[in-house]
C-alpha cells in the first residue's frame, strides 16, 4: 500500500467535512474521487498533502506515519499536488516557474535545469520554455502547473479539478498526459467531468456528506445504485 488513511476526520465547528474515512491507494493506480459539491473531496486531498490538519485519524505513506508531517516534508517524501486555482507567476518564464518549484526541493543548478527541461517536455511545453507564463492560454497554464509538480519527481501526484476550464481538445491532451504520468507515479484526481473519470481512473471513490459511499472500478461505479442516486441522478 502506498498510502493508507485510517478513520480520517476534519471537523469545522459542527460540520464534519470528512467523517472517519478509511482510504488507501495502491502504488501505480490512477484514482479518481467524485461526489457532489461539499462532499469533502478537497478536504480529504488537503489532508493527504498536508495543507489541512486532520482533527482525528492517521495517514501512512510508504508505511510511515505522516499524519503530523508538514506539506513541505510530504513533498520531500514524494507527495506533490496542483490546486483548483492556478498558482503560477505570470511575469516569469515557463522555465523559471518550474525552476522555482523544483529549486525548492532539488539542489544543484544543473539538476534543477534537467528536471525543468524534462518536466516541460512531458507536458508538451518545451517550445514555450522562454515565454512568460502569463501569456499562455489557460489550458497551457494548467499544464505548466502539472510540470511544476512533475519536476519534483513525485511518487504520488494529487490534482484537484485539473480539467476545469479546459477546452475539449485540451482535455484529450490532459488525459494522455495523465496516462503518461501514471507510468511512473500514482495519481489521485478530484474530477467533476465523469467522462474523464471513467476513461482515466483504475478505481473510483465516491464521496457524499464527508463519507465514502462507494468505491470500485469504473464499471462497478457506473452500476452502483447509491452512486446513481447521489451523483449521477
- Interface residue with ligand ATP among 9, 43, 141, 163 (CB under 6 A) is 43
Contact range with ligand ATP by CB under 6 A, out of 34-42, 95-103, 132-140, 143-151: 34-42
Give the containing element (helix H, strand E) for 56. strand 56-61
Q: Where are the alpha helices (DSSP H) in the chain?
A: 41-49, 71-77, 94-103, 109-122, 138-150, 168-181, 194-200, 218-223, 225-227
| Under 8 Å between Cβ of 125 and 91 | no
Contact range with ligand ATP by CB under 6 A, out of 30-38, 92-100, 106-114, 193-201: 30-38
Binding flag, residue 40, ligand ATP (CB under 6 A): yes
Binding flag, residue 42, ligand ATP (CB under 6 A): yes
- Interface residue with ligand ATP among 8, 17, 125, 185 (CB under 6 A) is 17
Contact range with ligand ATP by CB under 6 A, out of 40-48, 67-75, 125-133, 146-154: 40-48
Query: Which residues of this protein are in contact with ligand ATP, per CB under 6 A?
Result: 12, 15, 17, 35, 37-43
Amino acid at each position: 500500500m502506498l498510502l493508507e488513511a485510517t478513520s480520517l476526520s476534519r471537523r469545522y465547528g459542527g460540520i464534519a467535512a470528512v467523517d472517519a474515512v478509511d482510504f488507501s491507494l495502491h502504488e501505480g493506480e490512477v484514482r479518481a474521487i467524485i461526489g457532489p459539491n461539499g462532499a469533502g473531496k478537497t478536504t480529504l486531498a488537503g489532508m493527504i498533502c498536508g495543507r489541512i490538519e486532520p482533527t482525528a485519524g492517521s495517514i501512512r505513506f510508504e508505511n510511515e506515519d505522516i499524519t503530523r508531517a508538514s506539506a513541505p516534508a510530504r513533498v520531500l517524501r514524494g507527495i506533490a499536488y496542483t490546486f483548483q486555482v492556478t498558482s503560477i507567476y505570470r511575469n516569469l518564464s515557463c522555465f523559471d516557474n518550474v525552476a522555482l518549484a523544483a529549486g525548492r526541493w532539488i539542489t544543484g543548478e544543473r539538476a534543477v535545469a534537467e528536471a525543468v527541461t524534462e518536466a516541460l517536455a512531458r507536458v508538451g511545453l518545451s517550445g514555450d520554455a522562454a515565454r512568460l507564463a502569463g501569456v499562455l492560454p489557460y489550458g497551457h497554464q494548467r499544464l505548466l502547473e502539472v510540470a511544476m509538480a512533475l519536476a519534483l519527481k513525485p511518487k504520488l501526484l494529487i490534482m484537484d479539478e485539473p480539467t476545469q476550464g479546459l477546452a475539449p481538445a485540451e482535455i484529450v491532451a490532459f488525459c494522455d498526459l495523465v496516462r503518461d504520468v501514471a507510468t511512473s507515479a500514482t495519481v489521485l484526481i478530484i474530477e467533476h467531468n465523469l467522462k474523464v473519470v471513467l476513461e482515466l481512473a483504475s478505481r473510483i471513490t465516491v464521496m457524499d456528506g464527508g463519507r465514502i459511499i462507494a468505491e470500485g472500478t469504473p464499471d462497478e461505479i457506473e452500476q452502483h445504485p447509491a452512486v446513481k442516486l447521489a451523483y449521477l441522478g
